[in-house]
Amino acid sequence: MSEIRVTTISDTAGTGPVTLTKQSASKMWVNQDNGTTINDSLNVSSLTDNGTGDYTENFTNNFANIYYAGSGIVNTGTNFSNLVVNKFDASLVGSIRSFVGNVNSSGDTFTKFDAQDFMYHINGDLA
């Protein structure tokens, strides 16, 4: 069995990191405050605050198609007595629109709110 040990893997020009395009690694992640501030991220160029609990994360590099998969969590700053749901809509190759809110006990009402922290990641192939 061979072993490869490296400190840095660079692109063919030796000027930057290699780009993950087909590997099964997270291709986008973001930690944001109230949908307005990016605390840290990978492959997120900007955020759009569309209103209470309604955000668009714009990608730096497009995905190959809209069939990527992701998940997210929120910090509500409370005791988590309510169910918190991340509802996603308008998945595009260059952005994703996400909603954060509570679902009532019967599951028929979704009430959006701004989360103290919203963390999300996506796996899929980049274009």
**What pLDDT is recorded for position 20?**
64
**Distance of alpha carbon 49 from alpha carbon 102, whole angstroms:** 18
**What pLDDT is recorded for position 82?**
47
Across 7-41, b (16+ Cβ under 10 Å) vs e yields eeeeeeeeeeeeeeeeeeeebbbbbbebbeeeeeb
For residue 88, give every residue at least 6 positions away whose Cβ sits within 8 Å of its Cβ, in sequence order, or none.
70, 96, 97, 98, 99
**What pLDDT is recorded for position 44?**
96
pLDDT along the chain (127 residues), means of 10: 79 77 79 86 94 90 90 72 55 87 78 83 88
**What pLDDT is recorded for position 53?**
86
**What pLDDT is recorded for position 9?**
77
**Distance of alpha carbon 34 from alpha carbon 25, whole angstroms:** 26
**Distance of alpha carbon 93 from alpha carbon 21, whole angstroms:** 14
CA 48, 50, 53, 59: dihedral to nearest 10 degrees?
-30
List the one residue out of 107, 97, 43, 90 whose CA is nearest residue 72: 97
